[in-house]
Chains A and B, each alone.
Chain A
Amino acid sequence: MHVPPWLWYAVITLVAWGVVGILQKLSTNHISAESSLIWLVVGFLLLEPLLYPGASVFHYSAWNLAWALLSGVLNALGAWALFAALKSGGKASIVAPLTALYPLVVIVLVPFVLFESITGMQLVGIGCALIAVILLSA
């Protein structure tokens, strides 16, 4: 069995973000969700010296640099919208599984933006994953 290389990275993401889910619960036991997001960004900033790219950053295309920055903006805005949903009366048991469906946006747009396609079997896998996310977040 040849495991695709991306899957190993995806497992690191899964484990790291899975632990984050626990820490999120622990932090919001003591502070509000918004404060928790602010301190999360402080945690991001602690990593910055290790990631500092130096002058090489100017070699990349302006568009790709813009996408990288904008991805950060959208990620944080999404987290804010999630808090707003919970604060305006949304039940966590409904809001969490609903917002976990963000891969659907990517799946719908990818054929038009990146011209990638998927096989029938992979589509079954995506279906399983989306059902899993809904059940696990409920």
Chain B
Amino acid sequence: MIFNGTLKARWFWYSMACVLCWGGWALLSKLGSREIPPETMQFLFTFGTIPVCIALLVARGFKLEKSPKGISYGILNGVLSGIGGLALFAAYHTNGNTSLITTATALYPMITVVLAVLLLRERFRPIQAVGLIFAAAAIVIFSL
């Protein structure tokens, strides 16, 4: 059976581990944000990512590719991710509904899809158009 095969596949369990880790990340972000302001949350959050970063470096034997372009995009990624994280902590800090905030901010692929079509000239697939309609509906409902 296909389903049985999926349950035995390592990639499936790694994906589930990712879902649990990110679910835990969002929930703990909210718990901390009840008291701690967004700037300090992002400051502390970054310290939490360092051990994993070091473990990754060790696992790779401290070998990193030396592509200036790749490195620049990677660092810019971090700066923008940090700004996005800061806004997420600010949203949690407002005492808004945790489930709604988490779900709304997880809609970021809608921006990626639109930018990928506009900037990277990726093909826009009909299924993505349907996805955008659902995303827009969700945001309208959340704003009511």
Chain B interface residue bracket vs A? 35 or more
A60 touches B35 (CB 8 A): yes
* CA A114 to CA B120, docked complex, whole Å: 41
- Chain A nearest CB: distance from B127 CB in Å? 5
Q: How many A-B residue pairs have CB under 8 A?
A: 443
Interchain CA distance A100-B135 in the complex, whole Å: 13
Beyond A23-B76, A23-B80, is A18–B56 a contact (Cβ under 8 Å)? no
A: interface residue count bin: 35 or more
Which residue of the partner chain A has the closest CB to B45?
Answer: A72
How far, in whole Å, are A38 and B99 apart by their CA atoms in the complex? 30
Contact status A73-B18, CB under 8 Å: no
SS of B interface (majority) = helix
Q: A10-B101, A27-B74, A31-B71 are in contact. Are A20 and B56 (CB under 8 A)?
A: no
A12 cross-chain contacts in B, Cβ below 8 A: 83-84, 87
Q: Kindly supply a per-residue 1/0 record for chain B positions 17-34, scoring 1 wherever the CB is within 8 Å of any chain A CB and 0 otherwise.
A: 111111111111111101
Residues of B within 8 A of A (CB): 9-12, 14-15, 17-32, 34-36, 39-53, 56-57, 59-60, 64-65, 67, 69-71, 73-88, 90-92, 94, 96-116, 119-120, 127-128, 130-135, 137-139, 141-144
